[in-house]
Chains A and B, each alone.
Chain A
Amino acid sequence: MTNKENFAVQELSLGIASRWLVEDVSFEIPMNQTVGLFGSSGSGKSSIARALANQLAPEIITRGILSAPERTSLVQQNPFLSFNPVICVGDQIAEVLVRGKGMEQKEASIQAVKLIGDLGLTEPAKRYKDFSLQFSGGELQRLAVAKALAFDPNLLILDEATSALDEANQNLVLDFVGRHQQQTGCAVILVSHSLELIKERCSYAVFLESGQVMEQGSVDTLLTIPKSERLQKLVSARQGFRKNTNSKLSSEQILSFEEITVFNPDQPRSELVSVSNFSLAKGESVGIVAPSGSGKSSLLKGLLGSYPAKLRNAKLTLRETVLTRVSQKAKQSFGYVLQDPRDSFDPRRIIGSSLAFAAKGIVAKGIIEKAIVEVLDDVGLDTSFATRLPSQLSGGQLQRASIARSLITKPEVLFLDEPTSALDQENEVLILDLLQSLREKYGLTILLISHSSFVTKAATDRVISL
């Protein structure tokens, strides 16, 4: 092993036949250090990660020097792709130990059980025999990292490996990597779109923008005195995000219930989540923050009638009428925005038609067109977007259109289910900003669900943990 040597990327370019996707990227990867590669989606960070791991698609053309170590491991975002679903997870880790470290099969199995225990999973001997689908995303990603490290690599690349995980699981995975790094002194490359993650975990960072290095340096200098305008904007938006606290909070309750129990639509007797003593005041913005799998999305679905639910002592005050259940009529005063904007639009309809569909029967017939123009303008999209198909919009634009649709019926309550989780950080900040101004303009009451404490802090007055 060439342990004391540093690895480096020199003037690396990657391209397809018609154009370069990544151009002249150079940076060093010192041993025992963590280097962050970050930038918004499409900046080429994942392509560089794949090039380092020698896992590029065959049609990609490479130019430049890559002095990556022979033993390089890559962990990707979806942990279910890291494991063969028909072989038990323990055997797969043991196999890597046999091949990577030359262990005997028996010794490797014992070592694998120990490793699973080290990851904080209970009953490691039993979990050894489990298959990948029996683990949660967070557990499996820890196992994927453990499998990658069992090979004893000199370089570990985490390509957005934690971005699908909630904060608790994210920390578990990265702490595990940190401990391993201290023991073996391997180099780590962390590919992420998250500024906070880079700041917390890396010593050196490379900021990429459309396939080029905008700037690089030690994390402390890079994030305190950024040179490029784009990074400056991003850093200041993330750190200086101030919400205007709501001045005129009324004491009037818009929605309250003693208890809600939501059931699984496929097994009507199995309970998914249950919440008691909930109330939402008019004009208030409340956040529900919880790790993934805690049933926070199911809670909303139950409340809005997509999942079967039992409501006890509910009271809704909508448009000056008092209701005791979430009726079809009540739902017309609700707006609903989901996590994935691509999934939120009928792919066959142009944006304007989707908005008109939502408005029909609620907004008077003659003024629907005017209303569409108005809400699009409110979310910062010009009228030309109304005639485009969803596939012709970017994720950020589409999420704005989704918010526009939720507003066209002039709702009283806006339900937001992870509204920024599918977006990169620049767009996240823009959307949060937009929500602030819309809340004032429309006098909205907001219920926001998120796994990110940054989002709930930035957009809500009060946070409930499940």
Chain B
Amino acid sequence: MRLFSNLLNKFKMASLPLRSGYLMIGLVFLVYVFGPYLAPFDFDQIRDDGTKFQTLAPPNAAHLFGTSNLGFDVLSRTILGFQPAVAVIVISVPLGVVIGSIAGVLAAFFRGWVDRILNFLADLLFVFPALVLSMVVSLGIYAGQTGFVSGVMAAAISTAIAFIPKYFRAVRVEASQVIGSGYVQISIASGVSSWRILAQQVLPNSIRVLPILISKNAADAVLVLAGLGFLGLGITPDTGAEWGYDLSLAVGDLLVGAWWTAFFPSLALLLLVLGFSLIAEWSAEDSLRRKRESL
């Protein structure tokens, strides 16, 4: 209950763009949870009661968003497309956050060669674009075998790798400030174990910047998943509903005037990415504004 009122309070204080971001992600969450019950058909269903769906049918009473070239129900695939999208976020974000921030805190605390090595590794990872990396992961780990798990994992791991240096940098800077502050110096001087100092004083005070990066990470993870699908290296239509794959097919549909196969998956993708981007950009903006006002 307290958590709920805290969230409500946060929502009330937010600016309009940030509020819309929260609303969009709230909607995404609801569709994710209730999607399997909401979707009228399964993601790979092409016939109902023995009759085959008409292919490329425009929106109608039986298929509110129409059907695709392969005869899939677009509404069902749009709704069920939230499943892999959220899964990729749920795997990618914790992976990046945990590795990146622990490395950041260690680099700031031990300095010297630990710092130099970790910085070097971060620089190394920094040069990889997430999408290219995801193709490498997909081919390298899963041998180009495409499916639900391999698609999600390839997108999640590669986005996490692309974001580790960002988490690392942000946390390292904050942590070196925190370590320089009096209370940590006092703990060091009075013989408190390094492990306790790092876990209980440095880390909790160094992760203020993470929410912004997490939102960016989430948006990117979904885009990489869609990109991978678009290139045909992600989730195949028989293993799961995925917008990127549907969009790659929809390009051809547009030429014959079938807008619905491209429009609805794009809208879902937009909702997710825009929601997280709004939260990322405007939570930074809002906290800056509050700082200015309090001065």
Contact = CB atoms under 8 A, between A and B. Distances in A.
Interaction A to B: yes
Contact of A336 (B181, B189, B205): B189
29 contacts: A265-B111, A301-B189, A304-B188, A304-B189, A305-B188, A306-B185, A328-B193, A329-B191, A330-B191, A331-B189, A331-B190, A331-B191, A332-B190, A334-B189, A336-B185, A336-B186, A337-B186, A340-B182, A343-B181, A343-B183, A345-B182, A345-B183, A346-B183, A347-B205, A357-B200, A357-B201, A360-B192, A405-B186, A415-B189
Contacts of A335: 190
B187 interface: yes
A348 interface: yes
Contact of B201 (A305, A334, A346): A346
A305 B190 contact: no
Interface in B111-170: 111-112
A305 B109 CA distance: 13
Nearest to B204: A348
Contact of B190 (A266, A268, A339, A358): A358
Contact of A338 (B186, B191, B204): B186
A331 B191 CA distance: 5
Interface string B186-224: 111111110010001100110000000000000000000
Contacts of A76: none
Interface of B: 111-112, 181-183, 185-193, 196, 200-201, 204-205
B185 A338 contact: yes
Interface string A293-323: 0000000010011100000000000000000
A73 interface: no
A305 B188 CA distance: 7
B189 A344 contact: no
Nearest to B200: A357
A409 interface: yes
A354 interface: yes
Interface of A: 265-266, 268, 301, 304-306, 328-332, 334-340, 343-348, 354, 357-358, 360-362, 402, 405-406, 409, 411, 415
Contacts of B181: 343
B189 A305 contact: yes
Contacts of B185: 301, 306, 336, 338
Contacts of A406: 186, 190
A358 B192 contact: yes
Nearest to A308: B112
Nearest to A358: B190
B190 A336 contact: yes
A336 B183 CA distance: 10
Contacts of A344: 182-183, 186
Q: Which 10 A-B pairs have the closest CB atoms?
A: A331-B191, A304-B189, A343-B182, A344-B182, A332-B191, A336-B189, A338-B182, A336-B186, A346-B183, A328-B191
Given A265-B111, A346-B201, A346-B205, A334 B182 contact: no
Contacts of A306: 185, 188-189
B253 to A, nearest CB: 54
Contacts of A346: 183, 201, 205
Contacts of B201: 346, 357
Among A268, A331, A332, A339, residue most surrounded by chain B Cβ atoms (within 10 Å): A331
A405 B193 CA distance: 17
Contacts of A268: 112
A346 B184 CA distance: 8
Contacts of B204: 348
Nearest to B185: A306
A360 to B, nearest CB: 8
A225 B205 CA distance: 51
